[in-house]
Structure 1
Amino acid sequence: MEYQYEYFMSDALALPKDAWKPFHNAGPVLSYPKNKLLYNQGDTAFCFYYIVSGRIKTFISSAEGNERLLTIYRRGDILGEAAFFDERPRVSSAQMMADTKVVSIDRPALERCMQQFPALAFSLLRYLSATVRMLSTHLDATSFLPAEKRIVRLLLNMDSGGNHTVTCTHEELAYALGLSRVTVSRILSSLAKQGMIVLGYRNIQLLNRKKLENLIADLMENS
């Protein structure tokens, strides 16, 4: 089976870390083992999900059996909300990347949460709008930009909250951008040698956003 990894998202939406905290107690916590499917492409959506712990990937499948990764979600994220709100069949499948716990949010649960926490409505609107913007930006990046610019641009987007630390692995970046892990590691090592980033265990610290932004501008001029 061919995998065409494309899109890594959740750190880049710049919502407060506790934006979805009201969902934590909205229903019973459900536990799933690694590799278990949460839902399938084409399913009717009666709920969306809040991740208590673990990681989940969403992907689309072609008639030929190929899969393309869309998004990786982590603790504190929500997923499956698009099909839930527009009442259309799910356009992707979701699968556990690790042992994972989630809370299922149906309409009564959402209504209770929004009555208790009115700010949730604005957070959801902001989240949906930011997701559309990111999809457009990502399409442009994966279609036209050189590898180094795509990596730097994704790191900057993932640090839009301003804490200067991006939590991900080289492999996840490679999957997200459709690059080889060797290419990603080579470019990250080069950026580290230039003093722009520090590579850690499952994280990348951005030392100088201005230099990284200038690097993108220089690459644009030379591409």
Structure 2
Amino acid sequence: MTKINLLGLLENHALFRNISAVDLHTLQREVVKTELEKNTMLFRKGDQADACFIVVYGLVKLSIPSSQGNDKVLELIRPGQSLGEAMMFLDEPYPFYAEALENTLLLKIPRPALMRLLDRSPVISRQMMAGLSYRLLGFIRNVERYSLQNATQRVIDYLLQTSAMQSTNEVRLELKKHLLASLLNLSPETLSRVLHQLMDEQLIRVCGSTIHIGSPDALKTYQHSVVTLH
């Protein structure tokens, strides 16, 4: 088990910054550290939602399984983000599965422990509602993006957002290309065609799982100029 400062992680997480020291220490005793190796399932679709999770490090993929084997990627959960709260409140099973894409450490907060904390702290309740609202807004924006943006615009949007998150123009793809295509609601063939198109325009260079963006401003200008993808 990786040695971590559990109390420090809880104190510094946005959700728990305003709770009392007593509540924090009580919560600390009930939190379970969960380590997953790469490609390990955290839970499967249909499992009962009895906890929520906070990612300490690593990367978790949320997907809907498909009988054809082409699972639909819903979201990536990164360090500092949480998952599982909505199903826990509804007392419903998970409608998706969660898989670690890298070696990942999570904090598992059992449902009874979190419910007791929410009963005692209106501040925590409001913060959790805000977090769930942001997630909902994110899903709405994704639907809007898929409805209004063409394939080229979606790929550029992803590259620019990931570049900003990683604070570099050397973008490390977090997903294999067929999974990235699923996340962007594209076919793998369309994703490859768009990447080649951007390379031909000398806007990006691709080296394995790394994409070098020559100029984010030029890429953004090209995004706004593209109307259709042939």
| TM-score strictly above 0.5 | yes
What is the aligned counterpart of 1:215 among 199, 218, 222? 222
After TM superposition, the structure 1 = structure 2 runs for residues 131-142 of structure 1, keeping only pairs within 5 Å, are 131-142=135-146
Identity of aligned residues (%): 23
How far did residue 92 of structure 1 move? 0.6
* Letter matched to residue 91 of structure 1: P
Q: 1:213 to 1:38 in 2, by over 3 A?
A: same
Preserved CA contact (<8 Å) 1:21 1:76 = no
Q: 1:168 to 1:114 in 2, by over 3 A?
A: farther
Corresponding position of 1:90: 94
What is the rounded CA distance, in whole Å, between the counterparts of 2:205 and 2:70 in structure 1?
35
What is the rounded CA distance, in whole Å, between the counterparts of 2:198 and 2:81 in structure 1?
27
Q: 1:222 to 1:38 in 2, by over 3 A?
A: closer
* Letter matched to residue 87 of structure 2: A
Q: Are 1:61 and 2:56 counterparts?
A: no
SS at structure 2 position matched to 1:57: strand
What is the rounded CA distance, in whole Å, between the counterparts of 1:107 and 1:147 in structure 2?
40
How far did residue 164 of structure 1 move? 6.5
SS at structure 1 position matched to 2:73: strand
What is the rounded CA distance, in whole Å, between the counterparts of 1:142 and 1:202 in structure 2?
24
Q: Which has the higher contact order (CA 8 A, sep 6+)?
A: 1
What is the rounded CA distance, in whole Å, between the counterparts of 2:129 and 2:159 in structure 1?
24
What is the rounded CA distance, in whole Å, between the counterparts of 1:105 and 1:75 in structure 2?
16
Output the TM-score relative to the length of structure 1.
Answer: 0.66
Count of residue pairs the alignment pairs up: 203
How far did residue 91 of structure 1 move? 1.0
How far did residue 44 of structure 1 move? 1.9
Corresponding position of 1:174: 181
CA-based RMSD: 4.1
Corresponding position of 1:102: 106
Corresponding position of 2:3: none
Flag structure 2 segments of 5+ consecutive residues without an equivalent: 1-11, 18-23
After TM superposition, the structure 1 = structure 2 runs for residues 34-183 of structure 1, keeping only pairs within 5 Å, are 34-62=38-66, 67-110=71-114, 120-143=124-147, 145-158=149-162, 168-169=173-174, 171=177, 173-177=180-184, 178-180=186-188, 182-183=192-193
* Letter matched to residue 193 of structure 2: T
Q: 1:117 to 1:53 in 2, by over 3 A?
A: farther
Superimposed CA distance per residue, residues 146-202 of structure 1 (whole angstroms, 9 cap, x where no aligned partner): 2211112234455677957665347364342234353353245356x34xx687875
What is the rounded CA distance, in whole Å, between the counterparts of 2:78 and 2:15 in structure 1?
12
Output the TM-score relative to the length of structure 2.
Answer: 0.64
Superimposed CA distance per residue, residues 76-118 of structure 1 (whole angstroms, 9 cap, x where no aligned partner): 2211122112222211111222332211112454367769997
Which shifted more, 113-122 or 144-153?
113-122
Q: Which has the larger radius of gyration?
A: 2
What is the aligned counterpart of 1:27 among 27, 31, 55? 31
* Letter matched to residue 182 of structure 1: S
